[in-house]
Structure 1
């Protein structure tokens, strides 16, 4: 792997792999964490809006430039980042980098298309919020965090529909700058890749980034239930945890390796296999640089919520009784999951970028070795200090 920075501050990561394809992932360090109640959803909206046209391409020309070559182009938004990528044959990388730099650094934001796209995004908000498997996490996020981390990535429909072109431009100009951007290439990388990167990205000027990082207060117990038109119920029980850049963050990968790991984890076994108390059940954790949590979740009947919540808490307390053999099994799971989940070029590009934003992309190269060095005493110390009685529990239950 190679890593360098252009003169304008744009960071570049290159990882050459034996592959028939190449992925170019351009990530801007901005997301819903940088928003307020007044403009919540603007990061996700800009992700859409840059595809409506640039100063030299129409919306159709953007997509057709990649897709007529058999490639793939897409984008996404998270609380901490907005990313754009192309996946294509290595011989077409010139086109891919040209299109990526064009949509990210030269969007036109045409007024008519902005109005149209606002309605499209509003429909998307309705769609995803109607899915309670998704909405449970929006609800959990809003109750777990006190700062901007509580704001949903998609935003609120009325806010998005009220966005003006001026608001979009002001937010875009503040964050869409090269010194707030990471370009990651993974796959069969051409020898002239560095020259191509400099050609398409070095001309953009850096701009100082001014952002206020909110310090989350210590977690307190919070239980929140909401009634919605649904036949089944949903619960999430979780905690704030350390960011990925901290050594203790590895502990929660191992906790997932003990309690989670699909249908063979303790939580699935205790809740579904042994007692049949839920349809779906498991663990999920996210670790960035300021948006971090660990949670247990279940889709179940409302009458089973007290029983399943108790099992969740008992399993978390059981971690203090973990034996060395069980920790070793969790380490084996984490190692296997790390390599299997990162085998595809796009997944590995995302992983490298996520570590770069949190600390350094080089830190993930010895990630597995660091996990293997975690001691049983350190596992118990860290897990007990975070996964305690000060949990956040949200539940979606039927109206009737």
Structure 2
């Protein structure tokens, strides 16, 4: 598995700082993330060997099979290694091996080799560890056998694939996205508007799909999956026709959606720096909400990938700041993530408000007004914090300049008042819960 050096050209860096970048920038960042995953997968092999782990030999065999398949089918192996959960699994396995954690299981690398063999039609038999009879094949699906099973054999050839243990055989369907006896497939969602497609996998089974998330959702029912498909179809049409650069970035960055449990109010969504390309979200209520969620989380994905190449903030010194979109005080790295995400959200509502009428227009104007002010205030806080690197200061200054360019765009007084009221209520609530002398000052309400 070959690597290359990754650099961000100056103009691309500036475009990213302005909140955009388009397909070219996201493709560049995604390529760097692929290299990161390749290094992590190799790191599992090296860490298992270095600590003399009992599964080191099995890990070596799995890695060698993966490398052999790559020589004949590089695209297949690249797609398997890029799957978001693979990076999280590899990183955590390396840390477990280095710390001597007895739960470390590097031989699960065999699951990646098995997926590559199945997708490429390579003839092979390979042993794959199971957890209480469950075998997760990243990006493909999950086989469920007896809870006593700790290891299975995946057998495949160009015609079929099956998972076998203790006399039980689970046959993987010709279309692995489909469920079958003992098999849970990773379903796909797709949409196409004006010749522009998007294809994503619903990963609602991999234990590494969104690490450390406490509100992971259950596996979607078929009816729920159909609802997600219908909402994606409408949201994608909205993005392609009216937010084209955002649509291009979403299509290039996001490959996986994973469900979250619904909150008491509104919608939840998140991304993880460990799982580039995956967006976790509760069921979106409508197309507009899904569209702005994808815009928001793609911003997080872009920035997280960029941070692997260019350090924008200094090490955490314990300082905490007010973020108008959070209930807790935030360190500078978290503050930057939020400001960058809401730069994208502001840009979405800036365009979307001109497509709406009635109360929907009022809502869109209020969102544009509120997040324009919030992101601008936080950008200034970041610049004044003294906790940005030189590239980070350049980046945030460009963010602030973009927001300043929108400051003069008129918003109806009623919508602006709604945005200001929501911002004031959040600020007051935050101060009640967090207002302490060591927290960086919160700006006064607008107009005071």
Q: Using CA pairs under 8 Å that are at least 6 residues apart, name the structure with larger relative contact order, 1 or 2.
A: 1
User: What's the TM-score, normalizing by structure 1?
Assistant: 0.33
User: What's the TM-score, normalizing by structure 2?
Assistant: 0.30
